[in-house]
């Protein structure tokens, strides 16, 4: 047995005992879970923790138990149910993909076929191919990236190292047990080979790990220095009348696209918060919230106006049911500031 086969077998043996029990998974060695559940979980897990995803996954699969049910759902309902998970383009692509699969009649079973679906990049297509269909695929998420970089002591900085990391991951990927192997790599990175303080004494691959042999596996993978995020300033407007607040739906493309929100001054397009209020009036300053997006920090000030009549594109939403509006996290923060 060659070294790569030894690594793979050791990892699978460990996984059979230590696999995480997650609502979208099948236990090691059992029949693969439904492709719909695998795909939905992988989309939700992009840049989001398992703990945050579990309640959303359970809510979605209870409300839309099949890909056909999700495909038939109004997009605004899906967006509202997604609120709080962030990266809202994923939710828009979720609906597009569900409708494409429903039209096809089933998920494609190959990595190439899956890549052709809306919103499925290389990682998601590989993960669904391996986990749902047992296809050999090189599945590299952030956890796998870390495991492989340490296992082979790849010390070129990211993102340049990703080509070599993928090549080494391909080297140890098995032709069989594709789903279990992919999830074993993910679990090892999530629970043992963690970003900080890796638990090498518990690692099934410790004796084969070149990073450990070099004495400091935690330094890998090497990451390029982060650039400071720019600061933006904006204003949100709380317009209240007769126990209701005026909400708008953001444009389908762009920041928080397609989501219900408070009117604002265009902070997503301006760095200085220089926009104007939606209507003239005696606006009251009501504080500010701070929120961090992928590429910038935002300070969003809140102004309040009560008793104003409104018309045009928007809706009066009952304050008593504001939690059902599906406001994205930023505007949920602002709403809490307004009602306290």
CA distance 39 to 207: 34
Given the residues 42, 75, 167, 276, the one annotated as active site? 42
CA distance 301 to 311: 23
Please state whether the peptide bond connecting residue 281 to the residue before it is cis, i.e. omega within 30 degrees of 0. Answer: no
For 127, other C-beta atoms within 10 Å of its C-beta total 27
Q: Is 290 exposed, middle or buried (0-12, 13-18, 19+ CB in 10 A)?
A: exposed
Residues 18/23/24/28 CA torsion (nearest 10 deg): 30
Annotate 33-67 with b (16+ C-beta within 10 A) or e (fewer). Answer: bbbbbbbbbbbbbbeeeeeebeebbeebbeebeeb
Q: Closest Cα partner for 75 from 86, 64, 66?
A: 64
Phi, psi of 3 (to 5 degrees): -60, -40
311 close to 66: Cβ distance less than 8 angstroms: no
Token output for 340: 């306290």
Q: Closest Cα partner for 101 from 49, 66, 65, 55?
A: 66
Annotate 135-167 with b (16+ C-beta within 10 A) or e (fewer). Answer: bbbbbbbbbbbbbbbbbbebeeebeebbeebbe
146 Cα distance to chain centroid = 18
CA distance 91 to 79: 6
Cα-Cα-Cα-Cα dihedral sign, residues 210, 215, 217, 222: negative
CA distance 151 to 137: 19
The verdict on whether 42 is a catalytic residue reads: yes
- Catalytically active residues, by annotation: 42
């Amino acid at each position: 047995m060659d070294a790569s086969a030894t690594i793979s077998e050791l990892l699978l043996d460990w996984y059979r005992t230590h696999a995480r029990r997650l609502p979208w998974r099948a236990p090691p060695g059992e029949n693969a879970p439904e492709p719909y559940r695998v795909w939905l979980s992988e989309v939700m897990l992009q840049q989001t923790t398992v703990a945050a995803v579990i309640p959303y996954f359970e809510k979605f699969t209870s409300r839309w138990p099949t890909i056909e049910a999700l495909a038939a759902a109004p997009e605004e309902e899906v967006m509202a149910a997604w609120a709080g998970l962030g990266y809202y383009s994923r939710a828009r692509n979720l609906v597009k993909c569900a409708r494409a699969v429903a039209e096809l009649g089933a998920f494609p079973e190959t990595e190439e076929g899956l890549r052709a679906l809306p919103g499925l990049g290389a990682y998601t297509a590989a993960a669904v191919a391996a986990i749902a269909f047992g296809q050999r695929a090189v599945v590299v998420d952030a956890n796998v990236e870390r495991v492989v970089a340490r296992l082979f002591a790849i010390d070129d900085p990211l993102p340049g190292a990703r080509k070599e990391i993928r090549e080494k991951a391909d080297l140890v990927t098995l032709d069989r047990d594709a789903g279990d192997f992919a999830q074993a790599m993910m679990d090892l990175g999530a629970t043992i080979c963690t970003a900080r303080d890796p638990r090498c004494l518990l690692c099934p691959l410790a004796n084969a790990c070149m990073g450990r042999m070099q004495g400091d596996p935690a330094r890998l993978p090497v990451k390029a220095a982060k650039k400071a995020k720019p600061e933006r300033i904006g204003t949100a407007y709380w317009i209240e009348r007769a126990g209701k607040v005026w909400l708008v739906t953001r444009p389908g493309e762009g920041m928080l696209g397609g989501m219900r929100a408070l009117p604002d001054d265009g902070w997503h397009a301006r760095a200085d918060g220089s926009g104007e209020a939606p209507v003239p009036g005696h606006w009251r300053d009501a504080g500010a919230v701070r929120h961090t997006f992928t590429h910038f920090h935002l300070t969003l000030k809140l102004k309040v106006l009560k008793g104003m009549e409104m018309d045009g594109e928007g809706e009066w939403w009952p304050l008593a049911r504001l939690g059902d509006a599906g406001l994205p996290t930023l505007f949920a923060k602002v709403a809490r500031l307004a009602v306290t």
